[in-house]
Amino acid sequence: MDQILKERDRLLHRTARTFGLSFTTISLLCLVVPGAIPPESYLVVLPLYAILAVSQYFMGRSRALGWPAGVFVAGLAIIAVIAFVENRVPTPAAMSAVSQIAAAAIACVAIVLTTSRRRLVALGVALLLVIALTLFFTFGWPNPVGTVLLVILGWVLASIVGIWVNAGVPQAARRIASIGRAHRAERQASEMEAQRRQSARLLHDTVLATLTLLAHSGVGVAPAALQQQAADDARLLRQLRLGATPTPQSSGDYNLEPVEETVLGTTLESVKQRFGRMGLEVSWHGTGQVLLPSDVLDAFLLALAECLENVRRHSGVTEAHVTIVDDATTVRAMITDAGVGFTLDDVDSARLGFKESVVGRLKEVGGHARLFSAPGSGTTVVLEVPR
Amino acid sequence: MSFPNENTLGAAITASNKRSLLPGGPASRARRQENQHRASLGTAFIGIGAALVVGVRAIYGFSWFVSLWGTYPQPALALSAWIVLIATLVTIFIVSRVIGDHLPDWIYLAFVALLAVVIVLDILAVWELHDFGGHATASLTAAMALLIVITLRGPVDILVTSGVLGAGILVAMVLSTPLTVETTPQLITSLGFAVLPVIIGVSVVTGFRRMVQIELDRVLVQSTISAPRFAVGMMASEELARLDLAAEELLDSVATGRNPLPLEPKVASVAASLATELRLHLIEGRRETWLYHAISESEMLGRSVALVDKSSLAGLLDANQRDGLLAAIWLLLSDNVKTTTDRTVNVQVGPITSAADPAIGQKLLVPVVITTTGVTRNRVDPSTWDAMRRVGRYSDSTQDASLRVDIECFVDNPADM
């Protein structure tokens, strides 16, 4: 609320500036019509116009009340000077210039004097002063009633602008606040929806595996099997979209058991088969019977599969070794190949999808990954997850 | 964050699917349009104010008309101009209240045509006097009457129409009235009163819309301060749903044989990029903090704020600190009058420097460094400092002629929770 009030003040001040400068220009145009006032009096009037315009300009930039006061004083000074030099029979130009100043160029301060009760009082006083002083300065000029009416019109119009914007802001602010509340609810709902989709990890893992096969045009897999797998996955995604949280038991060759703890060995076997189909021979060493919580297992397997995928694509060899060891606190996998290797500094790990797919996944379950390689001496990745 | 230029399947991430990972995808575009529509809220009220201004002006003009009645060579023409004008104003006011927030073209054109008729009638009525400035009444009010529809049409429409009407009046003035020292000032005055209020009105309405837009942006972004430590954000959620749907469609097409196996290279590369995007979304989303989402979702902040928060420490700030930090960034930028000014804010959260782990129950010190460009110390809104104080103890200095603030922000140690 506080912020929008600031914006409101800024808007009012800027409007006052536009309003004031426009009519100051009009007034000046009237005054520069040849013969409007004695030529030497321009020496006094023009600097006053400059002061007026500068005050109006800065009134648009700052919320201080000094600038409106400057507008007020400079405007009245202009009226006084013109009235002084034209005191008997004023030219129409002088009369127009004076009424523009009194009714509009000064009246722009009314726009910024509408924001509080105190300012409104100041507005009333200012209007009365302008009327009284204008009548006083221009005493003896024709049609004083017309002048007063015009001044009142100008000030009333300016006040309407100020008051109306002022009154419109709380209304808008209330509605914005209610939109904000609705948005907060929407954000929470969308957050939950995203969590739901993200937490369907088993589903996404099988979908990702199938997409991986498809990305290689499905070469090396029996078309019928792949079609069946795609149909299963599409069905699961449809269920997810319609609001359920499917937990697939298995998909294709994958064994995806949604139980609290899963034996690592059985799932490792399916990973091995999958890579075997794609031309990478994976040999397992070490323990095969490790129990892991299912979310840790998911992350572990996905990271492992990513590493093997990198071996398959980049190492230039068709064989990889995976050694699984475990102790009381951690399960560790070492993926080793005897391929071309690379200089760690040369290859951005992001390029291998390492950061996103491996490190990110493991980090989420409290694990981490390390990468060792040198050109010509193969690559070793160590993955660790807590038990 | 950095994106791999090649995914794990060897398919290059093309420009099109890379873009959809970033803010500015279809989701945020839809949101922007929605915001534009919402920006019109409150303008109906402003419209009533504008109608009131026209009403007051019409009463003033009409009283002049009455007082000048005796001088008209053809009072009937001038009177008919007023009758048409009043009928038009009343009708358009009622129509605009009924229609809502946009005036159809044909109604607008009919309205403008009627105003033109009023102007022509009034010009004909005072032509023989050869003193347009002193006697024209209805035509000047009619030119200003565009204010009534100022909230219902775009600023360009209004300004162009006002320019055309003003030009018409100017031509009539110059043709009907000899330009002398006596008459010229009144002509200038009349034209000014006919055209300037419309221009001022357009600037008020534009300013008001902008104000609503900014406030809306701020309020929407503020909903992030109650977000959990890591959140996926509005856009990521929509994106994930979109990716799931795309994957579903692709898998379905394979299952039904619409895409025969083995797949064409084009379809295969679609599968590859879908897999990569999906993978990135499943991992990336959870690592972003409220501050990242606030900045990427906001039109105003997204344009000029850069965030460096490698360890996602912003997520540790409590709601009050978040509110303060967001408000401070906002205030530093909101003086940004023009979108072209190069005022930027760079927020760096962390890293935690103290080598020793704090004891249990002790708060963690997260340094927050705000560096800016184009923000001078003395132009900073005073309430910015209050907002900074809510984040933590701060010290400000000047770096490269622009403000720099270092905040010591104490947060609960996540290890204790």
Tens of pLDDT along B348-362?
887 777 655 556 567
Alpha-helical segments (H) within chain A: 2-31, 42-59, 66-85, 92-100, 108-112, 117-137, 144-199, 201-215, 223-241, 264-277, 294-310, 360-364
Instruction: Choose the weakest-confidence range: A61-65, A93-97, B24-28, B129-133.
Output: B24-28
- Average pLDDT taken over every residue of chain A: 81
Q: Is residue A361 part of a domain?
A: yes
Same domain, A162 and A35: yes
Give the distance from residue B204's alpha carbon to the nearest chain A alpha carbon, in angstroms: 6
Give the distance from residue A150's alpha carbon to the nearest chain B alpha carbon, in angstroms: 8
Q: Is residue A193 part of a domain?
A: no
Helix (H, G, I), strand (E, B) or coil at A38: coil
Same domain, A324 and A247: no
| Interface subset of B 284-313, CB within 8 angstroms of A | 284-287
Provide the percentage of residues in chain A whose pLDDT is more than 70. 87
Over 90: is that where the pLDDT of B118 sits? Answer: yes
Q: Residue B257: its chain A contacts at CB < 8 A?
A: 227
Alpha carbons within 13 angstroms on the beta-carbon side of residue A86 total 29
pLDDT of residue B354: 63
Instruction: Choose the weakest-confidence range: A256-265, A277-286, B105-114.
Output: A256-265
Fold for domain B304-417?
Heat Shock Protein 90 (3.30.565)
Same domain, A22 and A166: yes
Q: Is residue A64 part of a domain?
A: yes
CA distances (Å), A371 to each of A366, B58, B143, in order? 17, 81, 76
C-beta of residue B296 within 8 angstroms of C-beta of residue B235: yes
Selected for mutation to probe chain B from A314, A356, A362, A363 (highest B CB count within 10 Å) is: A356
Q: Of residues A200 and B49, which shows the higher confidence score?
A: B49
Over 70: is that where the pLDDT of B267 sits? Answer: yes
Same domain, A284 and A327: yes
Judged by CB atoms closer than 8 Å, whether chains meet at A193 and B278 is answered as no
Q: What is the dihedral of CA A103, A107, A111, A114, to 10 degrees?
A: -100
Same domain, A207 and A76: no
**Per-residue pLDDT tens for B278-321?**
877 776 555 678 888 888 888 888 888 888 887 778 888 888 88
Helix (H, G, I), strand (E, B) or coil at B68: coil
Structure tokens at A324: 């699984």
Residue B232 forms contact with A (CB below 8 Å): yes
Instruction: Choose the weakest-confidence range: B209-223, B249-263, B273-287.
Output: B273-287
Over 90: is that where the pLDDT of A77 sits? Answer: yes
CA distances (Å), B76 to each of B67, B72, B125, B129, B361, in order? 15, 9, 8, 15, 90
Any residues with CB less than 8 A from the CB of A350 and at least 6 apart, and which? A356, B2, B3, B4
Same domain, A13 and A143: yes
Most confident by average pLDDT, A192-201, A355-364, B179-188:
B179-188
pLDDT of residue B16: 38
**Per-residue pLDDT tens for A297-331?**
777 877 888 888 888 877 888 888 888 888 878 88
Same domain, A274 and A229: no
Judged by CB atoms closer than 8 Å, whether chains meet at B41 and A92 is answered as no
B116-128: b (≥16 Cβ within 10 Å) or e: bbbbbbbbbbbbe
Q: Of residues B264 and B204, which shows the higher confidence score?
A: B204
Task: Work out how many domains chain A is built from and give that number.
Answer: 3
Q: What burial class does residue B395 get, using C-beta atoms within 10 Å of its C-beta: 0-12 exposed, 13-18 middle, 19+ buried? A: exposed
- Bridge partners (DSSP) listed for residue B305: B345
Judged by CB atoms closer than 8 Å, whether chains meet at B283 and A364 is answered as yes
Same domain, A207 and A138: no
- Average pLDDT taken over every residue of chain B: 80
d(CA A47, CA A53): 10
Over 50: is that where the pLDDT of A254 sits? Answer: no
Which of A8, A161, A219 minimises the CB distance to B262? A219
Containing A323, the helix (H) or strand (E) segment is strand A319-326
Neighbours of B84 (CB within 10 A): 18
Give the residue on B whose Cα is nearest the Cα of A25.
B192
Any residues with CB less than 8 A from the CB of B326 and at least 6 apart, and which? B221, B222, B224, B225, B291, B294
Sheet holding A330-337, edge to edge: A281-286, A319-326, A330-337, A379-386, A368-373
Q: Of residues B378 and B249, which shows the higher confidence score?
A: B249
Give the distance from residue B251's alpha carbon to the nearest chain A alpha carbon, in angstroms: 5
Same domain, A315 and A245: no
Q: Residue B2: its chain A contacts at CB < 8 A?
A: 348, 350, 355
pLDDT of residue A256: 44
Structure tokens at A243: 């609001």
Any residues with CB less than 8 A from the CB of B301 and at least 6 apart, and which? B221, B294, B295, B329, B330, B333
B102-115: b (≥16 Cβ within 10 Å) or e: ebeeebbeebbebb
Same domain, A294 and A340: yes
Same domain, A14 and A163: yes
User: What sign does the dihedral A141-A144-A149-A152 (CA atoms) show?
Assistant: positive
Name the residue among B282, B289, B25 with its Cα closest to residue A196: B282
Same domain, A236 and A333: no
Judged by CB atoms closer than 8 Å, whether chains meet at A361 and B283 is answered as yes
| Interface subset of A 201-220, CB within 8 angstroms of B | 201, 204, 207-208, 210-212, 214-219
Q: Is residue A188 part of a domain?
A: no
Overall average pLDDT of the B228-254 stretch? 80
Q: Which of A210, A229, A256 is the last residue of a domain?
A: A256
Enter the DSSP assignment of B353.
-
Domain region containing A211: 200-256
Judged by CB atoms closer than 8 Å, whether chains meet at A11 and B207 is answered as yes
Which of A198, A211, A231 minimises the CB distance to B275? A211
Identify the CATH number of the domain in which residue A275 sits.
3.30.565.10
| Interface subset of A 32-71, CB within 8 angstroms of B | 33-36
Interface size, chain A vs chain B, as Cβ–Cβ contacts under 8 Å: 290
Overall average pLDDT of the A87-115 stretch? 88
Overall average pLDDT of the A249-276 stretch? 56
C-beta of residue B313 within 8 angstroms of C-beta of residue B288: no
**Per-residue pLDDT tens for B26-75?**
444 445 445 445 556 777 888 888 999 999 999 989 998 898 888 888 88
**pLDDT-based confidence at A56, cuts 50/70/90?**
very high
Amino acid (one-letter) located at A43: L
Selected for mutation to probe chain A from B135, B204, B226, B287 (highest A CB count within 10 Å) is: B204
Q: Is residue A291 part of a domain?
A: yes
Name the residue among B386, B354, B351, B347 with its Cα closest to residue B367: B351
Q: Is residue A181 part of a domain?
A: no
Q: Which of A175, A208, A243 is the last residue of a domain?
A: A175
Q: What is the ipTM of this complex?
A: 0.74
**pLDDT-based confidence at A252, cuts 50/70/90?**
very low
